[in-house]
Amino acid sequence: MNSLAGKVALVTGGSRGIGAAIARTLAAQGADVAITYGASREKAEAVAAEIRASGRRAEAIPADAADAAQVIAAVDTAVVRLGQLDILVNNAGNFLTGTIDQLTLDDYERTMSVNLRAVFAATMQAAKYLPDGGRIISLGSCLAPRAGRPGISLYAASKSALVGFTKGVARDLGQRGITVNLVHPGPTNTDMNPADGPRAASTLAALALPAYGQPEDIAATVLHLASDGGRYITGAVIDVDGGFNA
């Protein structure tokens, strides 16, 4: 059911953490995968090399998610190098915190450019290439519907905006059979949010399940949405958050 043989996927921010897990998971099911990266070429090339070693094609494409022109160019480059595009995963994001009296307009511009404008730009460009029945999956956050603590307002706003965007684009592209969905990860054990980090105890107390998620948990849901099994799911917001928002 989850076979992606013959498909090509682009995963933004795929050099580490959840993005890298998604890239590996899609490749394991037969997809050729392009990933974008911002700072770490070495990590991105390592993920691409791992995918190639499994027998799939892979490309690592530099693109600063804060620069919409680079995001658009990365979509074009993925198509040129891999010949087509069937699945777009908007994963790149940033996490800038601060209470409203601490934040600046520069903070706003940086957060919205990466977490919202980059998703718009990639989706807009990918829609030109996706075939009927293509897939668009974006990564939001469990903090969009419930901030949970002070200092999250700007980040939550950027991720909340993806809800309306996802539902609107699902309507825009539905007649082509293209599904558009949003996954809200909860606390996930990555180098940015380690399960043994300083906030781990308070985070665990907020969950229904007494454990952080793993990047592979998020990737499994993305895989389902990208595969034939997800063909009748669109405009949906799916929590993969250990019950953070239960």
Instruction: Give the residue numbers annotated as catalytic, written as ranges.
Output: 155
Number of alpha carbons in the 13 Å side-chain half-sphere of residue 36: 31
Cα 187 to chain center, whole Å? 15
| Burial of 236 (C-beta count, 10 Å sphere; 0-12/13-18/19+) | middle
Give me the count of residues in the chain. 246
Radius of gyration of the chain (CA): 17
From residue 139, alpha-carbon distances to 83, 106, 155, 214, 227 in Å are 25, 23, 13, 15, 17
Task: Give the integer Cα–Cα distance in Å for 89 and 138.
Answer: 6
